[in-house]
Every structure is written in C-alpha cells, then in structure tokens.
C-alpha cells in the first residue's frame, strides 16, 4: 500500500489538475494499492492537518479544468521557520502530519517559493517529489513549466485583439503581461502577438529608445504601435538605484503599475494617444491548452513512476525534449532568467522588435 500526500502551493495556473491526475493514474494503473491524501490550500493544509482522502472519482473529468481541486495559498518560505500567531512550529507540524498519516511520499506542485519549502522538507527527512508549475517558466532545472504555454496563449490573444482597435484609432497600446522578475511570458506573447516593442525585467529600458522606436514607426507610415510590457519591467535609471533607494521610490509611486508610467512619458514626449490594457489574472485562468494537458500528464506519470521506484528528493523536469530527474537541492532558490544575449532575443531584434535598450 502506497500512502501519498499531495498539495498545490503558490499562485494557481492551468494544468495543475492534469498533473495531479497524471500522478494518480500512473499509480492506479500499476496495480499497487494506493491512498491519496489531498492537503487543502497548499502548505497551510499540511501545517494544520487540513486534508481529505481522495478517490478515483475526484480525478475523473479534471484534465481540462483550470485551477486546482485542492485549493492553493502562498506561504512564504522566509516565514516557514517562524512560529504562527499561536506559537506553532510550522516545520515540526508539517513533519508530524506527514508521520501521523504514515505517508510514503509528498507530491508537491509549485513554483520557486514552493520548491524552497519542498527542499527544506527533504532536508528534514521527508520523501518528496515535485512538479514544476508556473506561468512564468522561471524554475531552474527545467526548460518548461506547465501553465506557461496556456498563459502565453491568453496573453497573445489579448495582443491580437488590441491590434484591430490600435489600427482603427491610430493609437499606441501597452499590454501589461504578468512577470515580476522574469520576462519569458512577455517575450513569447509579444513575439507571437506581433508586438513592436517588448520590455522585460532582464533588459532595463531607456524611455528615449522606446520613444525613438515609436517615432520611427510613425515616420514609416505606421499609424499605431503595440508594446508588450512585463509588470516587472524597469528603466535603466531605476535599475541603477540601490535596493534601499528603489524601495523608497516605490513607496511614493503614484502609478497603478509601470505600464501607466511608461504611457504617461510616451504621451508627453510624442503627443500620441496611449492606452494601457492589463489582462491580469485572466492569464492564470481558464482551461489548460492542449500542450499543457499533454505536458502536465507526462510529468505526472513520471512522478508516479518515481514514487513506485522509491526515487525521492527530485523535481520532475524537462530538458532537451526529455523528462529528467532534477535534485531538489539544485532547484531551490534559483531563478531561470531570460539571458539578454540569448538567441531568441537576438532573433527578435532581427525582426525589428525593440527592447528599449
């Protein structure tokens, strides 16, 4: 009898359900008896013992459903070693709930913060297997995360829709795409949607260069310009500030987001009509695209196989078109960033796309 605990932590995304279904289907098809304990609302459920037994019926019909049947929450890694408001030792509580249920393994689905805590639990002696989910595709050790392609599709659809209204009115449109620290989502959606300017956190922008790119389009007879801007895009001036200086600036920040600051500066420098569109959490929502359904199912199946083989302490990753086992200690605390001199950036520039640098 295999007794498996399962939880989804951090921001939700498409294909979480598909990945969990893949794990359970693999275990069920092995012929070995299995019990699945689903911890509710991420690590909170593991800390406070909030769980429910799951049956095959719970995993039926969820391949196409977005979100997560277990619920999720953000439990910051930096607070894990701190007692809660009642003095509860969170790490010890998670370990005790694991042992109380006599679990053979924890299956944890999440992004960067989730993997830090997962690795900590591994260091504490628990058997852990993780699956890489995030719309940002910023997890180290894997070329792809599930949820990313679905989010790219949604952000691209938004840019596609903006094209017609931008052309009709001759406006500059800014589409703000999710991504605080990493620009993979904005880069891919921007290229797929035909954006003229793409601004990402890894390449600090010069507003003069952005305006120059817009003016050059106008001189060539283009009546509109579309910018795909990551929510974490940063100017060269701000990038040069110390953390303390930048934090002080943001404390008095008057704009809803960086896109509105960029819009105001463009309007003042060019006199053009500028509009901002923020698709926001729609990028996390809805059904997973076919790619993510297949990808998450494959990762889930491999996680199930690893559990059957007693291979613990790994994230199921994807490198060079092959599914691989990545040691958790190699993943935790690392971000996979867009390299400014990478091939995709150079190729985007060959297409005439400006990065404001």
Catalytically active residues are 136
**Taking a C-beta distance cutoff of 8 angstroms, is the pair 135, 148 a contact?**
yes
CA angle, residues 158, 154, 254, in degrees to nearest 5: 60
Among 15, 284, 257, 17, which residue's Cα sits nearest to residue 136? 284
Q: What are phi and psi of 263, to 5 degrees?
A: -60, -45
Could you please report the per-residue DSSP string of 196-234?
A: SEEE-TTS-B-HHHHHHHHHHHHHTT---EEEEEETT--
**Taking a C-beta distance cutoff of 8 angstroms, is the pair 71, 40 a contact?**
yes
Tokens of 330: 């190699």
Distance of CA 161 to the CA centre of its chain: 23
Reported as type and span, the H/E element at residue 52 is strand 51-54
Tokens of 34: 């299995």
Among 172, 147, 185, 179, which residue's Cα sits nearest to residue 287? 147
How many other C-beta atoms can be found within 10 angstroms of the C-beta atom of residue 350? 8
């Amino acid at each position: 009898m295999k007794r498996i605990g399962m939880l989804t932590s951090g921001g939700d995304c498409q294909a979480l359900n598909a990945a969990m279904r893949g794990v359970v289907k693999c275990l069920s098809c092995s012929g070995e008896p299995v019990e699945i304990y689903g911890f509710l609302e991420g690590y909170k459920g593991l800390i406070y013992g909030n769980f429910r037994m799951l049956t095959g019926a719970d995993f039926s019909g969820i391949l196409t459903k977005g979100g997560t049947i277990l619920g999720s929450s953000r439990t910051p890694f930096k607070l894990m070693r701190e007692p809660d408001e009642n003095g509860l030792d969170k790490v010890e509580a998670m370990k005790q709930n694991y042992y109380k249920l006599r679990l053979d393994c924890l299956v944890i689905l999440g992004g960067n913060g989730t993997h830090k805590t997962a690795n900590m639990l591994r260091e504490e002696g628990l058997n852990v297997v993780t699956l890489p989910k995030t719309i940002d595709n910023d997890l180290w050790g894997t070329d792809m995360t599930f949820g990313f392609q679905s989010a790219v599709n949604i952000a691209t659809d938004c840019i596609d829709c903006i094209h017609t209204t931008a052309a009709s009115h001759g406006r500059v449109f800014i589409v703000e795409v999710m991504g605080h620290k990493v620009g993979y989502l904005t880069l891919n959606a921007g290229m797929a949607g035909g954006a003229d300017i793409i601004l990402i956190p890894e390449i600090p922008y010069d507003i003069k260069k952005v305006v120059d790119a817009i003016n050059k389009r106008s001189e060539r007879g283009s009546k509109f310009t579309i910018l795909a801007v990551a929510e974490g895009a940063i100017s060269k001036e701000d990038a040069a500030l110390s953390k303390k200086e930048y934090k002080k600036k943001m404390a008095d920040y008057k704009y809803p987001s960086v896109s509105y600051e960029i819009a105001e500066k463009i309007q003042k420098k060019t006199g053009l009509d500028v509009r901002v569109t923020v698709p926001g959490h729609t990028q996390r929502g809805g059904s997973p695209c076919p790619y993510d359904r297949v990808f998450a199912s494959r990762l889930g199946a491999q996680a199930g196989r690893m559990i059957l083989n007693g291979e613990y302490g790994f994230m199921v990753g994807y490198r060079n078109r092959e599914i691989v086992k990545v040691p958790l200690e190699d993943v935790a605390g690392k971000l996979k960033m867009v390299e400014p001199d990478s091939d995709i950036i150079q190729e985007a520039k060959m297409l005439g796309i400006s990065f404001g640098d």
